Structure 1
Amino acid sequence: MEALTIQLKRLGKKKVKQFPLTFESTPKTLKELLEACVKNQVEAFNKKRLEVNVVGFLSPTDIQEQAESGKVDFGELTNKDLAVVQEAIDNVMVAFKDGLFVVFVDGDEITTIEAPLTLTDESVIAFIRMTFLVGSYW
């Protein structure tokens, strides 16, 4: 299993989310990388939907941590629908082609979906969500 560092960024925001992501095999192209990331996130999303929350209270530490993020709740989910892996993969491919996010590997932008990747244990992958200016319709 290969573990790589993933960074999530948004234009205009200083906060960078960074977390390790483990892959079954090292992705050789951007398409394989995106598919592996989506599969991992869909699995985590669906797992969270299936969990049963048995704790009916929040500790002061929980309240403080949630307050820092801007929302305090018990974590109850009303929408229990599960994500479909293939639909999520199709969506991310369209989003990449439409320029809704860009991908950098070790500081180099990857512009084509079939671009070959050379990933090492020290590689840092950055996904930057593009923010479009608000304006009038044409």
Structure 2
Amino acid sequence: MKVNIMLKSSNKTRGIQPVPYTINNKINILQDLIHNLVDIEIDKYEHKELQVLSQEDIDRMLINGKVSFGFQYRANNKIDRKHAKKVASLAFQDGLYAVFIGNQEIVDLSSAIHLKENDSITFIRFTMLAGRYF
């Protein structure tokens, strides 16, 4: 099943862009979705190939303020999938991010979800502000 994950682009002018993801496993609850997406991201990271940058790529990165070459500095470290899934679930439980499917917020990891083809899924990471009371 294909779904669209809404991601904020690093380019300031584009804003939020839908990125297509293919989910192969059966998703019943939010935790299944999060674990599946963690697996997809780990697979993408582990199979990422080093790419040569064109002048157009460099110019685009200069606009954003950072030119990076995509080099994996920790290529020898193996990612612990079980730990990564646990961290992602714990971050949701701690309120570090919210999940919306369409316009409906999912508030519990064990909430039943019914994904359809081309559904939009939005993850919103909350930034905690540090303040001081006088």
Q: TM-score, normalised by structure 1?
A: 0.81
Task: Give runs of ≥4 in structure 1 deviating > 4 Å.
Answer: none
Q: Which residue in the other structure is 2:16 paired with?
A: 16
Distance in structure 1 (CA, Å) of the matches to 2:29 and 2:70: 36
**Unaligned stretches of 5+ residues in structure 1:** none
Q: Which residue in the other structure is 2:89 paired with?
A: 93
| Identity in percent | 31
Distance in structure 1 (CA, Å) of the matches to 2:107 and 2:51: 45
Q: CA deviation at 1:26?
A: 4.0
* Cα deviations by residue, 1:38-94 (Å, 9 ceiling, x for unpaired): 10001111222xx4x474xx4321211222332113333322223221111000011
Q: Which residue in the other structure is 1:5 paired with?
A: 4
Q: Which residue in the other structure is 1:125 paired with?
A: 121
Distance in structure 1 (CA, Å) of the matches to 2:15 and 2:51: 32
Q: Which residue in the other structure is 2:34 paired with?
A: 34
Q: Is the 8 A contact 1:45 1:83 kept in 2?
A: no
Distance in structure 1 (CA, Å) of the matches to 2:65 and 2:28: 39
3-state SS, counterpart of residue 89 of structure 2? helix
Q: Kindly tell me the number of residue pairs found equivalent between the two proteins.
A: 128
Q: Is the 8 A contact 2:98 2:123 kept in 1?
A: yes
3-state SS, counterpart of residue 114 of structure 2? coil
Q: Is the 8 A contact 2:4 2:19 kept in 1?
A: yes
Query: Which one-letter code corresponds to 1:133 in the other structure?
Result: L
